[in-house]
Amino acid sequence: MKSLIVVLLLTISAKAMAQFAPQVGLGGSTAIHKSSSSIKSWAKECIIQRGYIDIADKSAGYTTTGDSSNAIGIADGEVVSMGDSGIATVQFSQAIYNGEGADFVIFENGFQNPANLEEAFLELAFVEVSSDGVNFFRFPATSNTQSLIQIKGSGDYMNARQINNLAGKYTSQYGTPFDLEELKSKDGLDVNHITHVRIIDVIGDIGTNASKDANGQKINDPYPTPFPTGGFDLDAVGAIHFKGSKIIENYTSKVQIFPNPTSAKLFIELESTLLNSNAEILIRDMSGRILLRQNALQQNTFDIESFQSGLYLISLLQSETNTCLGKFSKL
């Protein structure tokens, strides 16, 4: 018995060593409040595929609390309960792109342990994204929470420092951020044109129904939750780097310039009908001086961090034709 206890303690201690950002209110937390000015838009559409009240007893049926409308718009505490293995797929009015830092944020309704601010009651979910609505790519999730003693009910708490890239890491009204930079090398994914975000409930069972993180570790979160409110409770999804903030003067349906204003990087996307192998994008100051010149087919990302604050012009050069596409502001 003593040897079993020692093994248990060593396992729990080893997992606890890997530290990620802490819970809301603690130094170093990456939580984003629902009222943050960094959030530019909220999900406009949501499709829910309900999960089970208890996946080990499928005769109990599916969760019923809330509906897809509860995941649309600003985080307000009104949720849709996804159930064991439930899936929610959301869309925005425009695509999300890979900017500086976090690109979107997901809200759940967890709550803190009043006796210990490091801990909270959390229900977790995997997060995937797609740039075509067909092929989805998952953020590499990590759960270093111990997986020998099952977390069961509202009296069992988890430490956010042991969780990474899982939605639901933070408590109600504070979203968990996701950075598309982590997926930029995935073939088949355009991280500058994310059209769908998918949230998949984690089955927190440490037994045969266990969900596992990117390292093959079982993810231990409250299980079973045999109620109509079971599983991940999706409140909202907010977009931080959002193409809807574009400003376009000409060719409105063929050109996207974002973000605008910007402080470091500018993205310029052109419809293929505007391009040929010699097409170049030019960035000029207001006096007409060319500051940047890049092949339009080879590059659509412009580093303008060194520019002075002010207004700049963007044009497309093809053979002898120089077409003004629009302008942007450098902060």
Report the C-alpha gap between 43 and 244 in whole angstroms. 12
Question: Does a structural domain hold residue 4?
Answer: no
Distance, in Å, from the CA atom of 96 to the CA atom of 192, rounded to the nearest integer, reads: 7
Letter string b/e over residues 305-326, b meaning 16 or more CB atoms within 10 A of that residue's CB: eebeeeebbbbbbeeeeeeebb
Point out the domain boundary residue: 239, 270, 300: 239
Q: Got the DSSP string for 78-111? A: --EE--BT-EEEEE-SS-B---SS--EEEE--BE
User: Count of CB atoms within 10 A of residue 194's CB?
Assistant: 27
Structural domains in the chain (count): 2
Residue 5 lies in a domain: no
What's at 32, amino acid-wise? Answer: I
Q: Are residues 25 and 117 in the same domain?
A: yes
Is there a contact between 301 and 292 (Cβ–Cβ < 8 Å)? no
Residue ending a domain, among 224, 239, 254, is: 239
- Report the distance separating Cα 309 and Cα 307, nearest Å: 6
Q: Tokens 């006796």 belong to which residue?
A: 115
**Same domain, yes or no, for 231 and 267?**
no
Predicted confidence (pLDDT) per residue in 92-135, tens digit: 988 899 989 999 999 999 999 999 999 999 999 999 999 989 99
Domain-ending residue, one of 199, 215, 239 = 239
pLDDT band at 5 (very low <50, low <70, confident <90, very high): very low
Q: Residue 293 is part of which domain span?
A: 246-330
pLDDT in tens, 232-272: 999 999 999 987 644 334 455 578 889 989 999 999 888 87
Average pLDDT over residues 57-72: 96
Query: What CATH number is associated with residue 252?
Result: 2.60.40.3080
Same structural domain, 279 and 171: no
In a domain, 3, yes or no: no
Residue 293, in any domain of the structure = yes
* Rounded-to-10 torsion of CA 178, 172, 22, 28: 70
Whether the pTM exceeds 0.85: the reply is no
201 domain-assigned:
yes
Would you say the C-alpha torsion 235, 240, 242, 247 has a positive or negative sign? positive
Q: Indicate if 130 and 250 belong to the same structural domain.
A: no
154 and 254 together in one domain: no
Shared domain for 59 and 162, answered yes or no, is: yes
